[in-house]
A and B are shown apart, each in its own frame.
Chain A
């Protein structure tokens, strides 16, 4: 069964304490893996798209990487404003226009 899982479910970091979030997927024919940030009461905000194993994308303190089975979102020296829920989603060849979303990781960065 195709699925997307994320770990950990929740993560608390001190400001400046780097860490990584994991997104694991089991789909056939990956067409893209997408990372989003979602603040409480708001819609998800697009961060990155990764298309093939070995690809990396960076934006400020965030870096996303992709292997054949998982993606990592590395957060370097996080700040309290990085606190949010981070979602990953995959699009696969047999899904058409649909995406499969993971359950998310709730990140809290304490000052």
Chain B
């Protein structure tokens, strides 16, 4: 089974802080994704990466950046956290272009 591990289940940060969300996968998948999930808005893609050091913007990249220095690790960075970034953040991986996404258990971030 694919295992996608997100380093924190819950985080509370203050406005203006720099926040790092970490995601590690154990299946050697090339593609990794960061989504956020909000009530009434569903899952929205922030960024994805199809290879080490490669990244593509998703639908809502503003206020976020990503880093992929190793194949198994994909980090989401909030440069200066704001209250509208309070959300559930989900990391996912996939093996190939027609295969499903496999999700981690999420990080619930609260920015106060």
A31 CB contacts on chain B under 8 angstroms: 97-98
Contact for B106 among A42, A89, A102, A103, CB less than 8 A: A42
- Docked complex Cα distance between A51 and B98 (Å): 9
B73 CB contacts on chain A under 8 angstroms: none
Shortest CB-to-CB span from B48 to chain A, Å, is 6
Q: How large is the interface on B (under 10, 10 to 19, 20 to 34, 35 or more residues)?
A: 20 to 34
Is A46 touching B98 in the complex (CB atoms < 8 A)?
A: no
Q: How many A-B residue pairs have CB under 8 A?
A: 58
| Residue B108 CB within 8 A of the other chain | yes
Q: Which residue of B lies closest to A34 (CB)?
A: B100
Map CB proximity to B onto A17-58 as digits: 1 under 8 Å, 0 otherwise. 000000000000001101010000111111001010000000
Map CB proximity to A onto B35-56 as digits: 1 under 8 Å, 0 otherwise. 0000010110100101000001
By a beta-carbon cutoff of 8 Å, the part of chain B in contact with chain A is 4, 31, 33, 40, 42-43, 45, 48, 50, 56, 58-59, 90, 92, 94, 97-106, 108
